[in-house]
Amino acid sequence: DEEFDELCFEFGLELDEITSEKDIISKEKGEEKAKGASDVVLYKIDVPANRYDLLCLEGLVRGLQVFKERINLPRFEKIVPAEGEGQRLIITEQTAQIRPHAVAAVLRNITFTKDRYDSFIDLQEKLHQNICRKRALVAIGTHDLDTITGPFTFTAKAPSEIKFKPLNQSQEYTASQIMDLYRTDSHLRHYLHLIENKPRYPIIYDSNGVVLSMPPIINGDHTKITLNTRNVFIECTGTDITKAKIVLDVIVTMFSEYCEKPFTVEAVEVVYPNGKTHIYPELAYRTEKVKPEYINKKVGISETPSSLAKLLTRMCLKSHVTGNGNHLEVEIPPTRADIIHACDIVEDAAIAYGYNNIQMVIPKTYTIANQLPLNKLAELLRLDLAAAGFTEALTFALCSQEDIADKLGMDISATNAVRIANPKTAEFQVARTTLLPGLLKTIAANRKMPLPLKLFEISDIVVKDPNTDVGARNYRHLCAIYYNKSPGFEIIHGLLDRVMQVLEVPPNEENGYTIKAAEGTAFFPGRCAEVFAKGQSIGKLGVVHPDVITKFELTMPCSVLEINIEPFV
């Protein structure tokens, strides 16, 4: 186990835990439920999200064997049948509105065992969840080719016109009935929304009208794969042709090793609505050129070009040195859709070299880090506010629309608040434009505490600003609140004077601060003042309006101060 853990780490993976079905069930549901479960040891391995070729045992073992230099990377071969003998998949124009793309391939003379079959199904499920984005971008269908006859047609029909026997069901249903049938299915109900409100559903038939599948929901029972299946027809339909090609490539490269002629795939001709044809799978090999010094510099090593080529070859990227040793020619196999840029090749070289073998060096650039002035000011103010007897609160930056508008007697449009497009809960609909609601909610949650309650918070508020590149701007606000049997306006006023004193801002009009009577919807009439400093209005202080207090489910009066501290940086 330790050796395997070490090997995974060297290969850039993580062995998450070593467990068994019994362990998992007993952890989740208790010892009783785990009785009778299997004791077979399971390895849970974390695979990077872009390495689709490692999502099944076949690919993982192959990758590790090549890495250990026990085998050479197999060469995948596409066999194009003679004219008129191969399978064809015809796409009709009806599909354009719902799932326009389809690709297909055939695995000939394959031999399944129970484990291979389970791995085959499991890989499809993992791809569905990952690159296929829960089947929204691509849906995979695999069929027993000997139960059907080509050419196949991918079209879209009204739900009432579609009728077939879905996988593992005993009778035929129409498409509408299938939707109702799976509405309660824990696994399939998550995919119904992809097509259920569309006028036509995608469907694949063979030449005799037998239904292969209704993507992205369910395959037909007629073409079900068993352990005796010898020839497999694979189709991937979707809304993203690039992803569909990758998914098809991954499935055929992983399981073609069980074919009579290992690593060969029979091609299928896809006919588009405009009459054009294309042969799939593409199984494209491509070469990239990388300079050895580029790899050495980025990783921080000094390897010879030939040893770099060897490192990359161990990572399934067959490489050799060209042109007086100043270039590496790297062949990207069809299994490695994650190699998009030279830096992906550099990363693989670093993994093969071994992260632990890279020498640690002191950075060449010498810099002295400094705190952001605004954060430094906020930290200093926090100390002084705490020294003044106030307790710091930290509240959420998101709140509900009511908190910053209705409850404070304002209209939501006047707040200039940034809205969340798809909020998870009603509590998190907008970014706060004031810190006051957060502190009032904190007091409401702490009503049992002895009075007086004195709280403060120094945090960012967010308002829309069309002049910035992101369309919004943050301001660092200071908010303090005093909650007691009497409003205590003088205590909050005293706190403002103390804050200005530590900021060394004198109480005068020329270059200091002043307060002037003002009105605010959240404040008691005649008990509100605006604070001016540095020639601008920086906030308000006053006694909170009784309506606001009751809306936040409080019972005592309170006074509050909220100012913007950015002018003092």
CATH code at 382?
3.30.930.10
Q: Return the pLDDT at 1.
A: 87
CATH code at 199?
3.50.40.10
CATH code at 335?
3.30.56.10
Residue-range definition of the domain harbouring residue 542: 373-568
Q: Return the pLDDT at 427.
A: 86
Question: Does one domain contain both 40 and 90?
Answer: no
Q: Report yes or no on 118 lying in a domain.
A: yes
The full length of the chain comes to 569
pLDDT in tens, 479-516: 999 999 998 899 999 999 999 999 999 988 888 899 99
Place of tokens 């209704």: 214
Q: Return the pLDDT at 137.
A: 94
Question: Does one domain contain both 204 and 345?
Answer: no
pLDDT in tens, 50-85: 899 999 999 999 999 999 999 998 999 999 998 888
Q: Which of 221, 217, 132 is nearest to 180 (CA)?
A: 217
Q: Report yes or no on 67 lying in a domain.
A: no
Q: Report yes or no on 9 lying in a domain.
A: yes
The CA R_g of the chain, rounded to the nearest whole Å, is 33
Q: Report yes or no on 69 lying in a domain.
A: no
CB 229 within 8 A of CB 259: no
Q: Return the pLDDT at 222.
A: 92
Q: Report yes or no on 52 lying in a domain.
A: no
Question: Does one domain contain both 352 and 377?
Answer: no
Q: Report yes or no on 65 lying in a domain.
A: no
Question: Does one domain contain both 525 and 444?
Answer: yes
Q: Return the pLDDT at 534.
A: 84
Residue type, 496: L
pLDDT in tens, 409-432: 888 888 889 999 888 888 888 999
- From 250, 280, 310, give the residue that closes a domain: 280
Q: Return the pLDDT at 323.
A: 81
- From 257, 280, 303, give the residue that closes a domain: 280
pTM of the model as a whole: 0.68
Q: Report yes or no on 184 lying in a domain.
A: yes
Question: Does one domain contain both 320 and 446?
Answer: no
Q: Which of 437, 442, 462, 448 is nearest to 391 (CA)?
A: 442
Q: Which of 310, 282, 305 is nearest to 295 (CA)?
A: 305
Degrees to nearest 5, angle at CA 14 with 12 and 17 = 165
Question: Does one domain contain both 250 and 185?
Answer: yes
Which stretches of the chain drop beneath a pLDDT of 70? none
Question: Does one domain contain both 91 and 24?
Answer: no
Q: Report yes or no on 460 lying in a domain.
A: yes
Question: Does one domain contain both 91 and 210?
Answer: yes
The tally of domains found in the chain comes to 4
- From 332, 357, 382, give the residue that closes a domain: 357
Q: Return the pLDDT at 203.
A: 94
Question: Does one domain contain both 194 and 326?
Answer: no
Q: Please state, in angstroms and rounded to a whole number, the distance separating the CA atoms of residues 294 and 465.
A: 42
Q: Return the pLDDT at 37.
A: 79
Compute, in degrees rounded to 10, the torsion defined by CA atoms 400, 405, 409, 413: -160
